[in-house]
Structure 1
Amino acid sequence: MQDKPSATELLEAIQDFLMKEVLPEFRDKDLLAYKTLVSWNMLGVISREIRSGEESLDKELTRLSSLLGKKSEFPKTWNEKKNLTSSWNEELRDIIRKEKKSLEDTEYWKHIKESVIEKVEIVNPRFTTES
């Protein structure tokens, strides 16, 4: 891992390049302009995931641990955390299906709602739950 520039700084520099130098060259080419904007957006998602993805993952693991009665010591690496989260979410899914959890089982639905909100905030920084 290098110190400077950071991965997010590099991604933001590429985004800036796409918007200021590449996109203007494709103003009359709709498909290329669209693909440039999609690329710019994907770089933003990656940058936000690098900045806050692990924190969201830790929060989700903490909630799942509580819901499923699991140990609270989590793996150290990002990939191990993602795999554990996926496994525990499958377990939660099976519990919801098997036990036919309803909206009255608020702790389950609160976890699901919070997890979805955290994921959408990474994909769409303009997302808000405020009315």
Structure 2
Amino acid sequence: MQDEPTPTELVQAVADFLRNDIAPLISGHQAFKLRVGINALDLVVRQLMQASAAEAVELARLKELLGKHGTLLDLNRALAEQIASGTVDLATPGVREHLWQTTLDKLAVDQPNYASYKREAGRGRDDA
């Protein structure tokens, strides 16, 4: 295993090269496809940098909310089943907050430039 560059740095370097050196040279549908590829690389960088921490916090919230242990996938399935069955809903303490924070955390990785995400991420918890 190599210490440097990190996988994040490598992916970022490729994205930057494509964005800064190649994109100005092409146009039309090929430029569109290149932008899609660059966006995918940028998403991978954000996933490498942010997703693990967000998932750890999400898992901790789910454990507390459900009162049991399990994997992130298993606990998300359990919560979804409880919501579908009507066992819990948005009035259940902690559910609304958990779903909202999980949504914001996922948008921070997936679509951090959405205007609505930026607005909501900048609001205080008491503003919601």
Does the alignment reach a TM-score above 0.5? yes
Deviation sequence 1:44-69 (CA, Å, 0-9, x none)? 11111111111001001000000110
The whole-number CA distance in structure 2 between the counterparts of 1:15 and 1:102 is 42
- How much is the aligned-residue C-alpha RMSD, in angstroms? 1.7
Query: 77, 97, 100: which one pairs with 1:110?
Result: 97
CA distance in 1, matches of 2:90, 2:12: 41
Distance in structure 2 (CA, Å) of the matches to 1:103 and 1:16 = 42
Unaligned runs of 5+ residues in structure 1 are 75-83
Amino acid at match of 1:9: E
User: Does the 8 Å CA contact 2:19/2:38 hold for their aligned counterparts?
Assistant: yes
Q: What is the number of equivalent residue pairs in this alignment?
A: 118
CA contact 2:65–2:95 (8 Å) conserved in 1: yes
Task: Please give the TM-score of this superposition, normalised by the length of structure 2.
Answer: 0.83
Counterpart residue number, 2:75: 88
Q: Unaligned regions of 5+ residues in structure 2, if any?
A: 124-128
The normalised TM-score by structure 1 is: 0.81
Percentage identity across paired residues of the two chains: 28
Q: What is the match of residue 38 of structure 1?
A: 36
Residue type of the alignment partner of 2:32: Y
Q: Counterpart in 1 of 2:126?
A: none
The letter of the residue matching 2:10 is L
